[in-house]
Structure 1
Amino acid sequence: MTRFSDELRLIADQASDGPADLAEKALRGNRRQRKRTFTLASVTAALLALTLTGAVVMGGSQGGGTISGKVTDVLPASGVGAASHAYHNFCGRQWNPGRNTAALGDRTCAQWRLVTRTGQSFRVPEAVSVYSEQSAENYMNTSGPLEISSDGRRIAYYSGKDQRFAVRDLSSGRIWLSPQTVTRAAMVKSGGLLQISPDGRFLGMSGAGRPSAVLEVETGKMTEVPQGWQVRRVPNGGAPVVVMKDRQLGLLTDGQVKALTTDANVLNVSELSPDGHTLAYMDSGTVRSGMGKLNLTLHTIYLPSGKTSGKIELREAPKRFLPMRIGGWLSPTEVIVADQARGAWGGSGPESVPTLGDITYGVDVISGRVRMLAKYTYRAWAGDMSIPGF
């Protein structure tokens, strides 16, 4: 029940009938065989092999502070500073898919919690985190989406009250709703992915049984994406939108998609570089057979030509480093990536509760140099986390 598994589910849904890695097969099986019941440990066992162990419980280095513990304050109507991250921890309970979800879904402790850069923590009751309607026969290994713009000033989420996607400005408190209704039943059945522009003025919407679309938040103007393509990145200004279909990247401009030339199947893609000319991505070859042999390679695409412009091996990466998500840029040559942080699994007692969350790194796309930026973690058996730009 993590953002990492959400992304892998999306890739599994898009995959062709060709070879797929172990993680994709496991998550595809979850979608197609709803009646098959399993515990969170079984969902996570394969994923644990991909991630770091022994992470320290701490907040982000940019003022996030410790994010464990009880959060009681509701997000104020206005006057909230920029967000550092958001998370929910499933009330600290072990997750039994479809069996204990209904009992926890509407409780305060299951709600998304927003943490500001100054360390304030607030509940966001209107943003659905856990789908309480799920049953043992019909459930998904996903959370309700909550995304944070790269500047931290706006959040996007699924509003259960309105049954629409919403964008909220944290400072003014103003909320904009998507024009179309998206039922909770559709969200439980199919899930939904949101992509918010760095300045929070545009919102990409995919899934939930509807065609993908891009919303100009403040005017309500909708641009539908050609069938089969899903929104992956929306830049400031709203164009060109980065879309993906069957692991092929494309650019959406004026309602038409221009496919980009890549030499590998795309797993995840960055925001546009500061000059708007470059994308970075990691390919599906990063995860090899047995999920133990790693091929850490970062690719870049020069958008004016549409061709791969660079390929760099991450030689200075930490041991067992496996970033599965790419975010924004720190400079014209350094992009931010995220690796999941997890502690030990199994046993009994408080010390056995896993450490979940993310560790962010800066990766130089020229030299391949990797440096750690921040840790965003919490102790729980299940939950989800959102970081600006991811």
Structure 2
Amino acid sequence: MADLNTSLELLGNKLLHLHKTPTSPNTFMQLNELIEAQQVTDICVSQTADYYQNQIYVRLQNKHPQIRWHIETTATLFDELPLDDLPKSFTQFRKKIEADYDLLHAAQDIAICATPERLAPIPESLVDRCEYEYFFKAGEDNAQAISQQKQQSSNFKGGESNGLNHLKSYFNSDAPSTYKITRNALDEWTHSTKFSAWLANGSLSVNTILNRLRRYERDVIANDSTYWIWFELLRREYFYWYAVTHQQKLFWFKGIGQHTPSTQLDQKKLEQWRNGDTAYPIVNACMHQLKATGYMSNRGRQLVASCFIHELGLDWRYGATYFEQHLIDYDVASNWGELAISGGRGGGSKRMSAVQS
């Protein structure tokens, strides 16, 4: 957020935030009060697969039908579902996409919207209202906030600037050419792309990553490993449209197939899994890593999800909820869709979250 505020200031704007008050205890009420107070005429949002966020938008549209909504596609490869129907498995989706959309493997770049030279300033009437305040309080500046962030132990540093730096560093190395070989390693930073955290919060665009991948294939090498990076970007795309298609069913115990699983909630086993105190040392190590760093490798996620569902017999939704609380790269579609499939609640192969790699 500090990085975003810096970018906005360079364009003549500033980041404001709404904080909850007794009169506006939830997001819908906050936005509703803002709309009415500022006589809002237009709202711009990024398209999202988050069912509950979309429900807030629907409520606002129903309450204020006079407002014009502008929904921008910022998180996906495609502006809309590129097929008539979403296939039941990722494999079917991938084969259809790769057969029908040859341009995605072509050499030319995808067009990226240019950054505007200036933004309109924030209306004074908004700045002056006491219930809104600048993202940084008086006396606190962006440099101080970013400096504090850089003292953190995690390799993940938030914001677009750090995301672009990581993108440049990754593709200036040999790592892309060995990705398929190393991606299942449990620990090393360079063994997988680590783009997921910046993708999850919008600091990096999937099209920006794909453009850089194409350039690497054009200028350095195109092999099975570089193809597999594309494969994972496409898998992320599949789960986005999976969430859009199935909406609230994404969170149901029975899943999209409406078959009641044999798993159940056992509080003791759940706590053992959360605390890394199971009978499986590799699972324990991965769970300790998650709690300490907010990250876990692709292979680690497969292991702990399989243990959670198949060895411990636990309700898959509690595993998904725990990941949601702790993953630094949490993405609603990938997290819930992948774990549902691991538990047999969706279609396709039972495999956990390579798109988070």
Q: TM-score, normalised to structure 2's length?
A: 0.27
Q: TM-score, normalised by structure 1?
A: 0.25
Higher strand share: 1
Task: Name whichever structure is richer in helix by fraction.
Answer: 2
Greater radius of gyration (CA): 2
